[in-house]
Chains A and B, each alone.
Chain A
Amino acid sequence: MTELSIQLVNLFASFLLMLAFAMLAQRRVLTLINLYSLQGLTVVAATTVVAHMTHQEHLYYSAVLTLILKVFLIPWILHRLVKRLNVRWDVETLINIPSTMLVGIVLVVFAFNLALPISRLSSSVVPGTLGIALACVLLSFMMMIMRTKALPQVIGFLAMENALFFAATSATYGMPMVVELGIALDVLVGVFILGVFLFQIREQFESLDISHLENLKED
């Protein structure tokens, strides 16, 4: 039984990595949001399996919380934002996808070497997943760097949070409930604030292209 659970957690971990790469290579905003909710769903599934495996009740709660928040609520808000901001067809001009992925592979190797000593220390039964979670964090970070539009950057930020959450559940079987609630609230508020910001940016520059922000600096 545990054997199967471990394999499942590993499987979800590699799904997460796959989604992180997919988000890195995705040009369309709408698909990006869908990928994000898919990522949330994967985290939910992984959390449920870990909860079942370790019999920790509070993990079930956080799974449900994640499900509501990251699979339904935030994607819904994002969809509304896209509609209101009218950026549905925005296409990012990404530099060469293969070279981005190549850098991504380097990051994965780096993350694993970083996580290796930590996961040896941790009591977790699925040591490899910490490396994957770390890699996902780095990949999301990279995605934020590579983007020129504001909304994909917000999604990158949210994806990073997802990866952190996964790291917490898989490596240490979740944080205390209070902390998790706090983070969830943070994320929600963050999304709202960022949404407001997006409106302001567009009001100011009539575009969500953040290269315009460069004009703000004093010469």
Chain B
Amino acid sequence: MTFTRALSQVISVVTPLALAPLLLGWVNQVRAWLSNRKGPGILQPYRMLHKLFNKDSVMADTASSLFRFAPYAIFGCMLLANAIIPTLSTDLPLASAADAIALVGLLALARVFISLAAMDIGTAFGTLGARREMLVGFLAEPALLTVLFSASLNGKSTALATIVEAVVHRDFAIYPSLVFAGMAFTLVYLAENSRVPVDNPATHLELTMIHEAMILEYSGRHLALMEWAAALKLFAYSTLGIALFLPWGIGQRATPSSLLLSLPSLGLKLVVIGAVLALVETFSAKLRIFRVPEFLATSFLLGVIGMLTHILLGA
């Protein structure tokens, strides 16, 4: 019994680890299609990771120990975040270790580390990226919290597994507050994953980049870990969105077979989410950096209104 539980926990950690680059590849591929390009194929992120791991790591001679330690810490945080989110099943041994608030804390921890690492070398780009990342973060984090609070008011719990259970296995109910929460979450999702209206994952133009500016000094295996962590973050946010707004299909039991059963529905939802994300990115133009706080504040306030409607309408 404990063995199967442990095994299913391992599966639910390995699945994101393996699938995260695929999701990224899928989004990039759809973006390429939408802009009439052929695209590199959805397996490209794996090839890139393999290439980066094989390369020597070149590190600035002024880099401190924090700079070397940070990629592992960020990767670890993102992996743990994926383990916390009920992706395949709501009954996992690690699920009780952290609730929605702790998840946000974990993502914030990763953000602090990546910003600090960016400031470590002391180049103009790194500090610029770090400042912008913290700017995005200090508004996106409370926005995400309000979204999660709306959901937890509905589920009467901050435990993600209970929230999912409440929606899937209780009597069917429509939660109006989720309209606002969903809208707010979409904005946070775009901002936190360095997607187009806020940041552009494909750019290296100094005036616009945020995430890329921070990892500019990394190379080789450290860069590979950073890129993988970014893919894991996208995966975590996607599965979090699924858990909050489209949880049907997530298994209830912690057996390997039930986990495998919920895999197809997860895959299908991720395909749709990835395609929609690519569509949104293609259709929107990048915001000026001064407009970003407005964008995020809107998301934050939408989250607040979501909580408010829950209390007002009592549902």
A114 interface residue per 8 A CB criterion: no
The DSSP consensus for interface residues of chain B is helix
A11 interface residue per 8 A CB criterion: yes
Q: CB-nearest residue of chain B relative to A128? A: B313
Given known contacts A8-B174, A96-B294, A105-B305, is B313 in contact with A18 (CB within 8 Å)? no
Indicate if the CB atoms of A18 and B304 lie closer than 8 Å: no
**Which B residues touch A121, using CB under 8 A?**
none
Q: Which of A10, A98, A128 contacts B174 (CB 8 A)?
A: A10
The DSSP consensus for interface residues of chain A is helix
Indicate if the CB atoms of B179 and A18 lie closer than 8 Å: yes
Given known contacts A7-B174, A8-B174, is B305 in contact with A108 (CB within 8 Å)? yes
For the complex, give the distance between the alpha carbons of A96 and B300 in Å. Answer: 15
**Which A residues touch B298, using CB under 8 A?**
25, 97-98, 101
A75 interface residue per 8 A CB criterion: no
Q: CB-nearest residue of chain A relative to B300? A: A98
Among B173, B294, B313, chain A packs the most CB atoms within 10 A around the CB of B313
Q: Which of B183, B293, B294, B304 contacts A105 (CB 8 A)?
A: B304
Interface digits, B277-315 against A, CB 8 Å rule (1 contact, 0 not)? 000000000000000011001101110110011001111
**Which A residues touch B294, using CB under 8 A?**
96-98
Given known contacts A108-B308, A128-B313, is B302 in contact with A21 (CB within 8 Å)? yes
Looking at the assembled complex, report how far the CB atom of A127 sits from the nearest CB atom of chain B, in whole angstroms.
9
Q: CB-nearest residue of chain A relative to B294? A: A97
Indicate if the CB atoms of A128 and B177 lie closer than 8 Å: no
B176 interface residue per 8 A CB criterion: yes
**Which A residues touch B183, using CB under 8 A?**
18
**Which B residues touch A98, using CB under 8 A?**
293-294, 297-298, 300-301
For the complex, give the distance between the alpha carbons of A10 and B174 in Å. Answer: 9
Q: Which of B180, B305, B309, B315 contacts A7 (CB 8 A)?
A: B315
Q: CB-nearest residue of chain A relative to B301? A: A101
Indicate if the CB atoms of B297 and A14 lie closer than 8 Å: no
Q: Which of B172, B305, B313 contacts A13 (CB 8 A)?
A: B313
Interface digits, A121-133 against B, CB 8 Å rule (1 contact, 0 not)? 0000000110110
A145 interface residue per 8 A CB criterion: no
Given known contacts A14-B179, A18-B179, is B301 in contact with A132 (CB within 8 Å)? no
- 77-101 of chain A: CB within 8 A of chain B: 96-98, 101
Interface digits, B169-194 against A, CB 8 Å rule (1 contact, 0 not)? 00011101101100100000000000
**Which A residues touch B300, using CB under 8 A?**
98
Looking at the assembled complex, report how far the CB atom of A3 sits from the nearest CB atom of chain B, in whole angstroms.
8
**Which A residues touch B305, using CB under 8 A?**
17-18, 21, 105, 108
Q: CB-nearest residue of chain A relative to B314? A: A128
A165 interface residue per 8 A CB criterion: no
**Which A residues touch B177, using CB under 8 A?**
14
Q: Which of B293, B301, B309, B314 contacts A14 (CB 8 A)?
A: B309
Q: CB-nearest residue of chain A relative to B139? A: A98
**Which B residues touch A193, using CB under 8 A?**
none
A36 interface residue per 8 A CB criterion: no
Indicate if the CB atoms of A10 and B301 lie closer than 8 Å: no
Indicate if the CB atoms of B179 and A11 lie closer than 8 Å: yes
For the complex, give the distance between the alpha carbons of A108 and B297 in Å. Answer: 18
**Which B residues touch A96, using CB under 8 A?**
294
Given known contacts A8-B174, A97-B294, A101-B301, is B308 in contact with A14 (CB within 8 Å)? no
Looking at the assembled complex, report how far the CB atom of B195 sits from the nearest CB atom of chain A, in whole angstroms.
20
Given known contacts A8-B174, A131-B312, is B301 in contact with A102 (CB within 8 Å)? yes
Indicate if the CB atoms of A105 and B180 lie closer than 8 Å: no
For the complex, give the distance between the alpha carbons of A197 and B180 in Å. Answer: 37
Indicate if the CB atoms of A14 and B176 lie closer than 8 Å: yes
Q: CB-nearest residue of chain A relative to B179? A: A14
Q: Which of A8, A14, A109 contacts B313 (CB 8 A)?
A: A14
**Which B residues touch A8, using CB under 8 A?**
174
Given known contacts A15-B179, A97-B294, is B173 in contact with A128 (CB within 8 Å)? no
With contacts A8-B174, A98-B301, A128-B313 known, what are 8 further pairs, Cβ within 8 A? A7-B174, A14-B176, A18-B179, A18-B183, A97-B294, A105-B301, A105-B305, A109-B308
Q: Which residues of B pack against A, CB within 8 Å? A: 172-174, 176-177, 179-180, 183, 293-294, 297-298, 300-302, 304-305, 308-309, 312-315
Pairs A–B under 8 Å by Cβ, sample size 26? A4-B174, A7-B174, A7-B315, A10-B176, A11-B179, A13-B313, A14-B309, A14-B313, A15-B176, A17-B305, A17-B309, A18-B180, A18-B183, A18-B302, A18-B305, A21-B302, A21-B305, A96-B294, A97-B294, A97-B298, A98-B300, A98-B301, A102-B301, A105-B301, A128-B312, A132-B309
